[in-house]
């Protein structure tokens, strides 16, 4: 098993890509710390425990730095270490620039960007003490090519790439690798809510001719979190079927 006995903290782990990542990591032997704002996470963890895996759930918003610090300390006390952080939690509040409200801007920045900062800043000291860590965050291929109506979302996902490169420089001397993944169109509840014409048009720009599934991204997270990627740091791995950029 590629993550045998590793302790993995996965944010936004109750649904979609996060849920697929939780399942994949557990299958590979990781002990799971699942964070989500939805109580659905408890059902996920209960099922994992029934299957013989070790897992805990915490209902938490990554936006609140004090809560994040407390939850990280709690998880560390429970398992004794934290080896992997998957910054997966994210939201969208799509609107064109001329129509976007300040609240829509703030909401996306708070979860997608500040939330990643909060979680990484809380976990990094533990990884430094261990002289070992794997940090992987969710960017997006729209960070590279832009996307109509997503000023707030694209801003956060572009920033994730930049922060990843900075943190790789700062934390590498402590045995910590820092990377991110840029998914393309992935079939989740979030993307299913997109207008049908937008979905159809998006496929025209994907050479493979179809959207991805959450497991495609979970496999990317797995690689970057495993010791197979021990000499990989500061990169953004694009998983999008070759979508035009």
Q: pLDDT-based confidence at 38, cuts 50/70/90?
A: very high
Query: What residues does each domain of the chain span?
Result: 7-235
Q: b/e per residue, 212-243, with b = 16+ CB within 10 A?
A: bebebbbebbbbbbbeebeebbbbbbbbbbeb
Tell me the average pLDDT of the chain: 96
At 57-104, the pLDDT tens digits run 999 999 999 999 999 999 999 999 999 999 999 999 999 999 999 999
- Is residue 132 flagged as an active site residue? no
- According to the model, what pLDDT value does residue 166 have? 98
- According to the model, what pLDDT value does residue 245 have? 59
Q: Which of 132, 153, 221, 223 is the catalytic position?
A: 153
* Residues 159-178, mean pLDDT to the nearest whole number: 98
- Above 70 in pLDDT, residue 244? no
Residue with tokens 């996307």: 147
Contact 149, 96 (CB under 8 A): yes
7-235 CATH fold: Rossmann fold (3.40.50)
| String of DSSP letters for 127-182 | HHHHT-EEEEEE--THHHH--TTBHHHHHHHHHHHHHHHHHHHHHGGGTEEEEEEE
Tokens encoding 79: 């398992």
Closest CA to 234 of 182, 177, 181, 183: 177
- Above 80 in pLDDT, residue 191? no
- According to the model, what pLDDT value does residue 10 have? 99
Crossing angle (nearest 10°) for helices 40-50 and 16-27: 20
- According to the model, what pLDDT value does residue 188 have? 84
Count Cβ atoms below 10 Å from residue 162 Cβ, excluding itself. Answer: 13
pTM: 0.96
């Amino acid at each position: 098993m590629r993550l045998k006995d590793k302790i993995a903290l996965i944010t936004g782990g109750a649904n979609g890509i996060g849920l697929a990542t939780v399942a994949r990591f557990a299958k590979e032997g990781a002990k799971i710390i699942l964070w989500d704002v939805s109580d659905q996470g408890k059902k996920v963890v209960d099922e994992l425990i029934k299957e013989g895996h070790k897992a805990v759930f915490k209902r938490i918003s990554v936006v609140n730095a004090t809560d994040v610090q407390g939850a990280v300390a709690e998880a560390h006390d429970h398992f004794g270490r934290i080896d992997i952080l998957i910054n997966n939690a994210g939201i969208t509040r799509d609107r064109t620039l001329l129509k976007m409200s300040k609240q829509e801007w703030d909401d996306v920045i708070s979860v997608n960007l500040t939330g990643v900062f909060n979680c990484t800043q809380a976990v990094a000291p533990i990884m430094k003490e261990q002289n070992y860590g794997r940090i992987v965050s969710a960017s997006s291929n729209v960070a590279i090519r832009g996307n109509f109506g997503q000023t707030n979302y694209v801003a956060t996902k572009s920033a994730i790439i930049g922060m990843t490169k900075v943190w790789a420089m700062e934390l590498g001397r402590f045995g910590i690798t820092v990377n991110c993944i840029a998914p393309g169109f992935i079939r989740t509840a979030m993307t299913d809510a997109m207008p049908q014409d937008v979905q159809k048009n998006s496929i025209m720009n994907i050479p493979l001719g179809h959207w991805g599934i959450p497991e495609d991204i979970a496999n990317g997270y797995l690689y970057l979190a495993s010791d197979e990627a021990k000499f990989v740091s500061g990169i953004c791995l694009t998983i999008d079927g070759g979508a035009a950029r």
